[in-house]
Amino acid sequence: MRIWFFTGASRGLGAELVRAALKAGDKVAATARNSKNLIDRFGDHPNLLPRRLDVTVGAQARDAIGATVERFGRLDVLVNNAGYGLLGAIEESSAEDVEQLYRTNVFGPLNVTRAALPQFRAQRAGHINNISSLGGYQATAGWGIYCSSKAAVEGISEALARERGRSVSESRSRRGPFSAASSSRAAR
């Protein structure tokens, strides 16, 4: 039985992963900016900890990881899933939109990773899965900012894999376009 921590679990891929983990009998901390969305989606489940987490806020990440360990006793797998796309040519993308995207797609997973690593080291075990994208290593016209954010995730993940030591493992999921049951504000 594993203890999972998912970001961006209120819909899309994150919600599907939560459902699969619960079905497998695992214990799950499911997080999103609005925890009511999580309760509406998954109901009251004994193996589920729904928790508010905006990944752009480091203090919330530390609180959510702490609450998970308090509830389940440990943490086995962190899945950095929260993220979104931005459709637009480089020239058209405003500084504000780019900063906001990087805050979620790049600084967000870094915040949650920073919060989880001390626990993984204390346990001498733990796994981090970063949801990346095919765009992370091959950028396409119109998706340059999004692809660059996933390239940053790739670089961070690659370095982490070399820095982590034996107790923490790392993997990336490089996804092509998909449509989960409920969709998001932009295609990827």
Ligand X SMILES: NC(=O)c1ccc[n+]([C@@H]2O[C@H](COP(=O)([O-])OP(=O)(O)OC[C@H]3O[C@@H](n4cnc5c(N)ncnc54)[C@H](OP(=O)(O)O)[C@@H]3O)[C@@H](O)[C@H]2O)c1
Q: Which residues bind ligand X (CB under 6 A)?
A: 7-14, 32-34, 37, 53-56, 81-84, 104, 108, 131, 133, 175, 177-178, 180, 183-184, 188
Query: In angstroms, how far apart are the furthest CA atoms of the chain?
Result: 49
Smallest separation, CB 46 to ligand X (Å): 22
Q: Which is nearer to ligand X, 21 or 53 (CB)?
A: 53
Catalytic residue among 148, 149, 150, 157: 150
Smallest separation, CB 156 to ligand X (Å): 14
Indicate if 94 belongs to the active site: no
Indicate if 137 belongs to the active site: no
Indicate if 27 belongs to the active site: no
CA distance 151 to 106: 9
CA distance 139 to 141: 7
Smallest separation, CB 56 to ligand X (Å): 5
Q: Which is nearer to ligand X, 133 or 148 (CB)?
A: 133
Vertex 185: Cα angle to 179 and 186 (nearest 5):
65
Residue 102 amino acid letter = Y
CA distance 116 to 112: 6
Smallest separation, CB 27 to ligand X (Å): 19
CA distance 99 to 139: 18
CA distance 13 to 174: 13
Q: Which is nearer to ligand X, 12 or 50 (CB)?
A: 12
Catalytic residue among 10, 35, 133, 146: 146
Catalytic residues: 132, 146, 150
